[in-house]
Structure 1
Amino acid sequence: MAAVLIGIGINVFILPFQLLEGGVFGIGLLINYLWGFKIGMTIICVNLPIYLLAFKIERSYFFNSLYGTLFTPIMIDLLLPLKGMIELPILISACVGGVFIGTGTGLMLRYRSSPGGIDLLALLLSKHFSVNAGFFIFFIDSLILTSGLLIFKDRMMIYSLFTVMSVAFLVTVLTSFRSINAYPK
């Protein structure tokens, strides 16, 4: 279900305005906008080195995140026909897309899984530094957005900041409260 939420967020709300998200999703979007490569396949390729690192450092995160890392890019590519299905103003679309992506990502992280890439890296850093994963995600996502602004030189890209803020907020909320099921004693 979380991967479906992410796929809907990207295809229905982010792609129609060529907005960016952060993390490997943002990298996948950048590459798609520049060269037309499929977003899901790009995400899988970008995830590979991060997963090798996770395998070396924290194998439980590696194994827990395999589902999210493989299923999320597949859902993004499968749900591409939904692109532009709902027409909203760009600001609302950026925020609603962020809500969908943040909810999907936050749900995965809450249960010690991840859609991969930067989120997995954030989970590893969060464990090591005892800082909420949402902070790391927001920081890295901001760097990716800045890259998008520099590459495309399009002021419309600033709306992507609302997507990143929505994602970071929901990830922070969903990973801040412990659940009986999320953290076995």
Structure 2
Amino acid sequence: MLKKLTIIGFGSTMIGIGINGFILHFHLINGGFFGVSLLLNYLCGVKVGLTFILLNIPVYIYAYKSEPEYFLNGLAGAIGCGLLLDMLSPLNGMIHLPIMSSVIFGAAIIGIGVGVMLRNHISPGGIDLLALLIAKWSKVNVGVIGFVIDSVIISTGLLLLKDPTLLYSLVIVSIVGLLACIITSFRSVKIFTK
């Protein structure tokens, strides 16, 4: 239990730093419910973390019925991410980098957080939980499934906001998806003692 809480704390902190410190300032979006929450923040001014938690409810109801273990891990992951997103919001605007550097650093930090959580079967949010469930059923890598879903969300954001800067969001999703794919693909190293 302590290990899971540590992983949730680490992953959520990384995601909160990546989004608040590097992504939010440029009005870019990430994938998954993070992206939908950011989109609603830009359009309506709602709190990102709280919106993120609320968006997760339908997926968690489904997960509760089909995969109770994923439900518990995912619920803890989503609440941790939502709380840390709002707690770390003062980071917004504190880091001043050119947009491309901000995109790369932010996406790398988010990707590490998401990848570490997914590797330990902890979902950092509803879309990732959905991707985990689909991966378990289809045997397709969870990072690939997440990338496809995220690309659809960003395309929707481009259509709604009509802001060409959102094309940088595709770079964010690509880096996050790639890192999540790499981190979840590593086999566990076992050390044998005599």
The answer to whether the superposition gives a TM-score over 0.5 is: yes
SS at 2:124's partner residue? coil
Of residues 64-73 and 156-165 in structure 1, the stretch that sits farther from structure 2 once superposed is 64-73
2:91 counterpart (73, 82, 95)? 82
Counterpart residue type for residue 18 of structure 1: H
> Does residue 185 of structure 2 align to residue 176 of structure 1?
yes
Alpha-carbon distance between aligned partners in 1 of 2:103 and 2:133, rounded to the nearest angstrom: 28
Question: Bigger radius of gyration, 1 or 2?
Answer: 2
- Which stretches of structure 1, 4 residues or more, deviate above 4 A after TM superposition? none
Alignment correspondent of 1:157? 166
Deviations 1:112-140 (A, max 9, x none): 10112100000000000001001111001
After superposition, give the CA deviation of every residue in 1:129-168 in whole Å (9 maximum; x if it has no partner). 0010011110010001001110111111101111001100
| Equivalent of residue 53 in structure 2, options 31, 34, 44 | 44
Shift of 1:94: 1.2
Look up the match of 2:74. Answer: 65
Q: Give the aligned partner of residue 126 of structure 2.
A: 117
Which one of the candidate residues 96, 99, 104 is aligned to 1:95? Answer: 104
Name the structure 1 match of 2:23.
14
For the pair 1:25 / 2:34, whether they are aligned, the reply is: yes
TM-score, normalising length: structure 1: 0.95
Alignment-derived partner of residue 104 in structure 1: 113
Q: Which runs of no fewer than 5 residues in structure 1 stay unpaired?
A: none
Mapped pair 1:135 → 2:139:
no
CA RMSD of the aligned region, Å?
Answer: 1.0
For residues 76-111 of structure 1, give each alpha carbon's deviation from its aligned partner in whole angstroms, at most 9, with x where no partner exists. 000000112111111111121111111101100101
Q: CA deviation at 1:65?
A: 1.7
Amino acid at match of 2:142: A
Q: CA deviation at 1:180?
A: 5.2
CA distance in 1 between counterparts of 2:108 and 2:59 reads: 25
The total of aligned residue pairs comes to: 181
What secondary structure sits across from 1:150 in the alignment? helix
Query: Identity of aligned pairs, percent?
Result: 50
Checking the alignment, whether the CA contact within 8 Å between 1:133 and 1:172 is kept in structure 2 is yes
Alignment match, 1:166: 175
Residue 64 of structure 2 is matched in structure 1 by 55
- List gaps (5 residues or longer) in structure 2: 1-9
d(CA) in 2 for partners of 1:111, 1:178? 12
TM-score, structure 2 normalization: 0.91
Does the 8 A contact of 1:91 with 1:162 survive in 2? no
